[in-house]
Amino acid sequence: MLIIIASFLYAKAAVGFPGETSRIMIYHVPQAWVATLAFFISMIASILYLSKRRLNADHIAVTAAELGFLFSILATVSGSIFAKVTWGSYWNWDPRETSIVILLMIYGAYFALRSAVPDPERKRVFSAAYAILAFATVPFLVFVIPRITMSLHPEDTMNPVDPQLDSRFMTVFLGAMVAYSGLFGWMFNLKYRLLKIEEKIYKGLEEWEMD
Amino acid sequence: MGNGLIYVMAVNIVIWIGIAFYLFSLDRKIKKLEREMNDPSH
């Protein structure tokens, strides 16, 4: 299954056709989509952690938040390059650009919070509560602000059906969506398993210290 | 397909291969660790 995902990625890079710069969209949009998805997963897992107090839920929340942060940065960078070729400048504080910076700072604070609280139990509770609050801002920053203010960013943000694009472009575009989601799933899986191993080691150490 | 575009594509493919290779090796290492943890006789 992993090979299928990887080959999808190669195939995606190898094809791609109309208007030169519009190709960035094949990367930019899925990155933003995956970031939003990741933050959403982080919020759900945080709610689960607060209600059930399962360690797994905390692992999922951190993993998703980290990957969401990573993909947001990727979307910002690719968006900035896109802005250079379409709007004429890498960065001019367009509402879209400003809102993503605020979003990055909000999630940056999440990691700062996690590393600032030494007690692991309190750390998990605090960060779970924070992640839920942080996600509350996502719909506004991602969907609302760029729409209520004058923005150069395309109106149909997060609406993948654009009739102006031809069918071959759409095929690659949707393929990229699937591939990026698969990539996210894979990276998520790896990070989660690492956290499980870490957890086991800590447990083993504690038992060893008690003996 | 412009002249420069082929280079963009080549660089892109190289980067993706690198990422995929890294993730694969990471996957293998984690699998190994998991096996060792479940079977402490190693």
Structure tokens at A106: 């909000």
Give me the phi and psi of A141, to 5 degrees please. -70, -35
- B24: closest chain A residue by CA: A2
Helices (H) and strands (E) in chain A, counts: 7, 0
Report the pLDDT value the prediction gives residue A160, as an integer from 0 to 100. Answer: 45
Residue A95 maps to a domain: yes
Structure tokens at A198: 């870490």
Minimal Cα–Cα distance from B42 to chain A, Å? 15
Residue A200 maps to a domain: yes
Residue A183 maps to a domain: yes
- A201: closest chain B residue by CA: B37
**Nearest 5°: CA angle at A190, between A200 and B38?**
35
Report the pLDDT value the prediction gives residue A158, as an integer from 0 to 100. Answer: 42
The answer to whether A28 touches A51, Cβ cutoff 8 Å, is: no
Q: Is the pLDDT of residue A152 over 70?
A: no
Minimal Cα–Cα distance from A141 to chain B, Å? 30
Give me the phi and psi of A68, to 5 degrees please. -60, -40
The answer to whether B30 touches A193, Cβ cutoff 8 Å, is: yes
| More confidently predicted of B20 and A19 | B20
Per-residue pLDDT reduced to its tens digit, A106-150: 999 999 998 898 888 888 998 899 989 888 888 877 777 666 665
Give how many domains chain A has, as a whole number. 1
C-alpha radius of gyration, chain A, whole number: 19
Per domain, the residue ranges of chain B are: 1-36
Buried-exposed string B8-36: b where 16+ CB fall within 10 A, e elsewhere: ebeebeeebeeebeebeebeeebeebeee
3-state secondary structure A61-94: HHHHHHHHHHHHHHHHHHHHHHHHHHHCCCCCCC
B5 touching A, CB under 8 A? yes
The residue range of the domain holding A105 is 22-154+162-210
Nearest to A193 among B2, B20, B34 (CB): B34
Report the pLDDT value the prediction gives residue A112, as an integer from 0 to 100. Answer: 92
